[in-house]
Structure 1
Amino acid sequence: MDDVTRIRFAFSPIWELVASLRTLRDPGRHSLHLPWVRAVRPRLTGIDLSELFALVPLQGYLVDFVTPTPETPMPDFAADLERVRRTHPERAAEEATWVSGSDPRVIERFLADPEAGVARVADTLERYWELGFAEFWPRIYGLLEGDVLRRSRQLAVGGARELFGDLHPNVRWRGDRLTVTRNWEYSAPLGGDGLVLVPTAFYWPDVAVMVEPYQPMLVYPATGVGTLWTSGPPPAPGALAALLGRTRAQILTALADPTTTSALARQMSLTPGAISQHLSVLADGGLVTRRRLGREVVYRRTPVGDSLVCVS
């Protein structure tokens, strides 16, 4: 039960980057990401992804060393990539032998010199990030940040039972243990290190689990993935826009779930300063409330704000 008190949330840019490799190869399996696939495929003609594709096959196990458990809740791709570069060659080679369904020649090349292989993989991940992912990360970040805020509140209010009650159909909280339905079997105490819960956009709709020798991590689909590539801010109802002004009406409409100034700024394509000014006006009018969560200030609609949005 000690581990329940050590549950923490984080999200990982490198996890999303690696998971997107499967989407890139099989867009039909994750058709909701087709706008991203169409945008990035033409950019990748000059990059050789064959080694990454071999280590991250379409089905089954993918090497864990390319998706290290997040150490902090604040994601940083450069820090994640450095951890990949520091992977011990023996560890990387062992994990590569567990991969099935890939081109054996590519795996054999990696195994012949795993130290060089880790360096190549890290370099390719960095190039792939620059060409196909960095531009889109702020939008993905906003979605994942919103899910972490929502789930953190759920855990604080209802505990583990409420948190895991609707996390995913394959995840069940039994009162003294967490069970996750997967196509492989593993059973062990967490060892006091706690569990890191990581929302994902690109691994949707599945869950993934990482265990020893890494800190235990459960990856689950973030809420609202289907809206990820919807462009622009949410529509503002006409009457509400006439009352508050279109931008403030859009902000109020967007606050159906708690969120931060930075997340709203990315969603609305406005500066954080502009969003902050609008939020101050809405807060002074009793339509939104603010609450500090760690180093972030989280905003949400008040019941009065809810009623205005619903009526309009």
Structure 2
Amino acid sequence: MLRIAFTAADLTRVRLAHSPMVEVVTSSFALNQPDRFRMYGSWRTRVRPLVARAGLETMLAVVCGPACYVPDFLTPVPATARPSLEEEVRVLAATPLDQVAAEVATAWAGHPAPPQIARFATDPAGGLAELIQQIRRYFRLAIAPIWPRVRAVAEAEIAQRARTAAELGPRALLEDLHPQLDWDGAALRLAHAKSRDWELDGHPLALLPAGFAGPLVHTMTEAPTGRALWYPPRGYGRLLGPGRQGEPGSALAALLGPTRAAVLTLLAAPGTTGEVAAALELAPATASHHLTILRNAGLVAAERIGRRLRYLRTPLGEQLTAGSEAPSAGPPVF
């Protein structure tokens, strides 16, 4: 079990952010480990042929090395809550070349390195430039088409946890993050990890919800840019699946009415009025009417993203739907 000790000062400095580079790395895991990330099956089916033709050998070799280590420089802890890919790529490009070479070598320690990896030992600048070019290409092919939904789910997670922390105190940021994580008031404990005690050493802890994290929690414990946990945000399993994957339970439908129950169930992942209307085959005015009633009842909240409002369930809405959703015909998929 990994144990992350906290002081009272550490707790007040926990923050939330969403990292495009974390999505790049975790989606690469989902692409190459189908048994472990089954919930991304339809996304993987669509993306694999594109990636196979795109010439991404350097990126995939660096991210998915046999030593089960991802170079820390690939996922700098964000300086802001919502960085763009280009902002993070600029941080990557500024990584000291000796660090780049050392971390890429660590990802292949004890294994024969292919030419794409061997290049980093003799030409780290050229290797890094090629890596960054391929990261941009991969993002454009695999993630950009679904980025608005990925970002929206992360935004909803960040907003809801921030609101809960404002109401209940900073400890609420660490509670119910993930089934494998247990907060005991003094430390955050991660089950199914190598036994180790870990301290933040003065770094703030960044919580990074990632739509492609799947069922796993990932840790960054020694990166020069900070300390972080990557974890799946609530609603990630319905991120890009068919709109009606989860039908409301009969008790919820009896309490709210079938249509409002369906709207509340759908909002496990955030959505606009138009997205709710399209998913449930409602007129936009009807969807707006039901969303207004649910909002007035305190079951959903609205967050402004640019010019649009996205609706998400409040903690009360989460409690009401917990255990009431009927299972879908299969696992949630992208």
TM-score normalised by L of structure 2: 0.72
Matched, 1:63 2:71: yes
Q: CA deviation at 1:174?
A: 3.5
Specify whether residues 92 and 31 from structure 1 end up closer, same or farther in structure 2 by C-alpha distance, changes over 3 A only.
same
Specify whether residues 118 and 136 from structure 1 end up closer, same or farther in structure 2 by C-alpha distance, changes over 3 A only.
same
Choose which of 217, 228, 231 in structure 1 pairs with 2:239: 228
Specify whether residues 301 and 48 from structure 1 end up closer, same or farther in structure 2 by C-alpha distance, changes over 3 A only.
closer
> Following superposition of structure 1 onto structure 2, how do residues 140-151 of structure 1 map, counting pairs within 5 Å?
140-151=150-161
Tell me how far apart the structure 1 counterparts of residues 77 and 208 of structure 2 sit (CA, whole Å).
9
Match of 1:110 in 2: 120
Specify whether residues 265 and 223 from structure 1 end up closer, same or farther in structure 2 by C-alpha distance, changes over 3 A only.
same
- Provide Cα deviations, 1:119-171, integer angstroms capped at 9, x if missing partner: 11100000111112100112222222222233223333334544433222443
Seq. identity, %: 30
Q: CA deviation at 1:92?
A: 1.0
**Matched residue type, 1:49:** L
Tell me how far apart the structure 2 counterparts of residues 212 and 235 of structure 1 sit (CA, whole Å).
39
Match of 2:214 in 1: 204
Identify which range, 6-15 or 31-40, moves more after superposition.
6-15
RMSD across aligned C-alpha pairs, in angstroms? 3.9
**2:67 touches 2:106 (CA, 8 Å); kept in 1?**
no
- Provide Cα deviations, 1:263-284, integer angstroms capped at 9, x if missing partner: x6566669xxx97996588548
DSSP 3-state at the match of 2:231: strand
- Provide Cα deviations, 1:164-206, integer angstroms capped at 9, x if missing partner: 3322244333423334453374633341x42110112222222
Task: Identify, as 1 or 2, the structure richer in helix.
Answer: 1
Matched, 1:31 2:38: yes
Match of 1:187 in 2: 198
Q: CA deviation at 1:292?
A: 8.2
Q: CA deviation at 1:22?
A: 1.8
Tell me how far apart the structure 1 counterparts of residues 81 and 142 of structure 2 sit (CA, whole Å).
23
Specify whether residues 294 and 184 from structure 1 end up closer, same or farther in structure 2 by C-alpha distance, changes over 3 A only.
farther
Specify whether residues 30 and 59 from structure 1 end up closer, same or farther in structure 2 by C-alpha distance, changes over 3 A only.
farther
> Following superposition of structure 1 onto structure 2, how do residues 1-312 of structure 1 map, counting pairs within 5 Å?
1-57=8-64, 60-100=68-108, 103-105=112-114, 106-181=116-191, 182-183=193-194, 185=196, 187-191=198-202, 193-210=203-220, 211-232=222-243, 251=263, 254-255=266-267, 261=272, 279=288, 282-283=291-292, 287=296
Tell me how far apart the structure 1 counterparts of residues 50 and 148 of structure 2 sit (CA, whole Å).
19
**Matched residue type, 2:52:** T
**Matched residue type, 2:59:** L
DSSP 3-state at the match of 1:209: strand
Identify which range, 228-237 or 168-177, moves more after superposition.
228-237
- Provide Cα deviations, 1:198-257, integer angstroms capped at 9, x if missing partner: 1122222221122341221111122223222312367898xx9xx9997x8865554568
Specify whether residues 173 and 136 from structure 1 end up closer, same or farther in structure 2 by C-alpha distance, changes over 3 A only.
same
Q: CA deviation at 1:295?
A: 8.4
**1:234 touches 1:250 (CA, 8 Å); kept in 2?**
no
Tell me how far apart the structure 2 counterparts of residues 131 and 221 of structure 1 sit (CA, whole Å).
22
**Matched residue type, 1:81:** V
**Matched residue type, 2:23:** E
DSSP 3-state at the match of 2:199: coil
**Matched residue type, 1:22:** F
Stretches of structure 2 lacking an aligned partner (at least 5 in a row)? 1-7, 325-334
Q: CA deviation at 1:107?
A: 2.5
Match of 2:329 in 1: none
**2:21 touches 2:74 (CA, 8 Å); kept in 1?**
yes
**1:288 touches 1:299 (CA, 8 Å); kept in 2?**
no
Q: CA deviation at 1:66?
A: 1.3
